[in-house]
Amino acid sequence: MTSQFGPQLTGTELPIPSNGMGKQTNWPQLFRELWTVAGKAVRERRYSTTVSTCNECQLHTIDKHLYHAFQAMEHFEALIVGAGPAGSFAAELLARAGVKVALFDGRPEGEPKACGGGVTAKALKAWPHLLNAVGRTVDQLEMYSPSGKRLHLQLEEPFAIYSRTAFDTYLRDRARTAGAQVFAAKISARGIKRTQNSWTLREASGASNRADGSEWSGGMLVGADGAGSSVARMLAGPLPPSEMEVAFGYRAPLPESGEAPTVVAFLPAWVGYAWAFPRLDHISFGIATTQEAFEHQPLDKLLWDFMLGYYRQREDPKAKLWASRKTDRERDQRIKEKLASTAERYAARIPGLNEKTWDTRRVCGEGWALLGDAAGFADPVTGEGIYYALRSAELFAESFIGHSPLEYEERWRQDFGRDLKRASQMRRRFYGNFWGAPFTERMIEFARGHRGIKRVLGDLVAGEQGYVDLKKKLARSALRPV
């Protein structure tokens, strides 16, 4: 007997869903999927198990309830978990190319991703549309050495600072406009199941009151769910805590004077740096350091000292950043009290892979891929990850659209893999000693007295100067006249 799925079919062909790569799903697989869905339906007592003939679809050989349950689950070519920069940009590019995409994010509304929100000039040049997101561009940067020496950098190309709520919403809206279906849903790791050529995703229990079944199926699973990615843990294995950086900070009000410089200060006697990134309506202060060097209390105190110094300098240009003078006491107390009642704390991790891990970690396989932080793509020296999130999304989308998703692995390695590996090699040296003082101290000292070195440093901030040839560039600049 010929089975027909719906009136549009003729002959013996079944309405087999596309698996995302234009191939066709086979019969046994479809049956397994139906069986999985029906099992769930029965557990939830939404369907009966009686075998019967359906008047609507004339389905005789398989229980109509299995078929209808399957119909309730929408099928996509790509399922992207996480709508940060990586996931949203990948969704947008795939949807533009006609791929049927579902994009999921479980972040509660109004809760921003913990981030400084700095986006390099290199990223702005690669994707100029980013400048349409609400943010602030910055063309001057104050840098401080660990001992407090100041270097003013006039940047040839500005970078941007965004509130992550504004930035992420902008990118997500673009994905939606391009045709991606966006779901406010947290996908639980236990709710990810694989059949032969397909995936089913299930919303974490208790995550919403969605009434429509909360399951989705698709041919390609993309993990863009950030540094703590459960998709990456499942598909590429967990990263040890030592391969994570720690970043924490406070969102605080803009200074009353209205003048709010952008500051990066290398920490005195500590690995890492503090930043002050002014946004449109507040400042993001923070410290990024390695997991190894992280100690909550002393680093939190250091950040408070930094914030205090930052506001102190807005009221008195002669005041020091790190050191408080006797005459500063009263003012400091007032600033502290105000900050204590207004500053909102945030903290999160950033991947910081070790040198060897860059060779061994795989970020894609048959039917799956990882992007951005989920893949481990962040600069191990600075913690910058937005550029790599966007670039990995682009490289993956191009590979997928070109019907060679596995080429993504080779492409990211060639594109930015070498540079990130070099950054891992340099991390210890960058925060280590050089000629009897911290390297960062020497770097700022040299840049204060040498235009060439200052320019290389500016290029580093702009994201235009990679690590692979950094040493050569610095040496060459140092040999040129001041």
Binding mask 391-430 for ligand FAD (x = CB under 6 A): ----------------------------------------
Question: Smallest gap, in angstroms, from Cβ of residue 66 to ligand FAD?
Answer: 28
Binding mask 245-284 for ligand FAD (x = CB under 6 A): --x-x-----------------------------------
In single-letter form, the type of residue at position 34 comes to: L
User: Measuring CA to CA, which residue among 162, 177, 200 is closest to residue 85?
Assistant: 162
Q: How far apart are CA 188 and CA 44, in angstroms?
A: 18
Contact between residue 115 and residue 349 where contact means Cβ atoms under 8 Å apart: no
Candidates 29-37, 103-111, 256-264, 471-479; binding stretch for ligand FAD (CB under 6 A): 103-111
Reduced to 3 states, what is the DSSP secondary structure of residue 151?
Answer: strand
Question: Smallest gap, in angstroms, from Cβ of residue 116 to ligand FAD?
Answer: 3
The residues, ordered by sequence, that sit 6+ positions from 271 with a Cβ below 8 Å of its Cβ are 289, 290, 292, 293, 431
The beta-carbon contacts of 173-177 under 8 Å, at least 24 apart in sequence, are 174/88, 174/92, 174/129, 175/83, 175/88, 175/89, 175/91, 175/92, 175/95, 175/101, 175/103
Candidates 72-80, 128-136, 152-160, 370-378; binding stretch for ligand FAD (CB under 6 A): 370-378
| Candidate residues 37, 90, 121, 224; the one interacting with ligand FAD per rule CB under 6 A | 224
User: Measuring CA to CA, which residue among 259, 225, 252 is closest to residue 104?
Assistant: 225
# residues near ligand FAD by CB under 6 A: 38
Question: Smallest gap, in angstroms, from Cβ of residue 463 to ligand FAD?
Answer: 9
Residue 87 or 219 with smaller CB distance to ligand FAD: 87
Positions 43 through 82 that interact with ligand FAD (CB under 6 A) = 81-82
Q: Which residue has the tokens 């240009």?
A: 317
- 373 in contact with ligand FAD (CB under 6 A): yes
Whether the CA torsion 108, 235, 223, 221 is positive or negative: it is negative
Q: How far apart are CA 53 and CA 405, in angstroms?
A: 41
- 218 in contact with ligand FAD (CB under 6 A): no
Question: Smallest gap, in angstroms, from Cβ of residue 58 to ligand FAD?
Answer: 39
Positions 280 through 309 that interact with ligand FAD (CB under 6 A) = 286
Q: How far apart are CA 428 and CA 336, in angstroms?
A: 34
Binding mask 113-152 for ligand FAD (x = CB under 6 A): xxxxxx----------------------------------
Count of beta carbons in the 10 Å neighbourhood of residue 257: 9
Question: Smallest gap, in angstroms, from Cβ of residue 276 to ligand FAD?
Answer: 11
Reduced to 3 states, what is the DSSP secondary structure of residue 64?
Answer: helix
> Among all residues, whose Cβ is closest to ligand FAD?
385
Question: Smallest gap, in angstroms, from Cβ of residue 346 to ligand FAD?
Answer: 6
- 348 in contact with ligand FAD (CB under 6 A): yes
Q: How far apart are CA 166 and CA 169, in angstroms?
A: 5
Give residues in contact with ligand FAD (CB under 6 A).
81-87, 104-107, 113-118, 186-187, 224-226, 230, 247, 249, 286, 348, 350, 372-374, 378, 383-387, 389
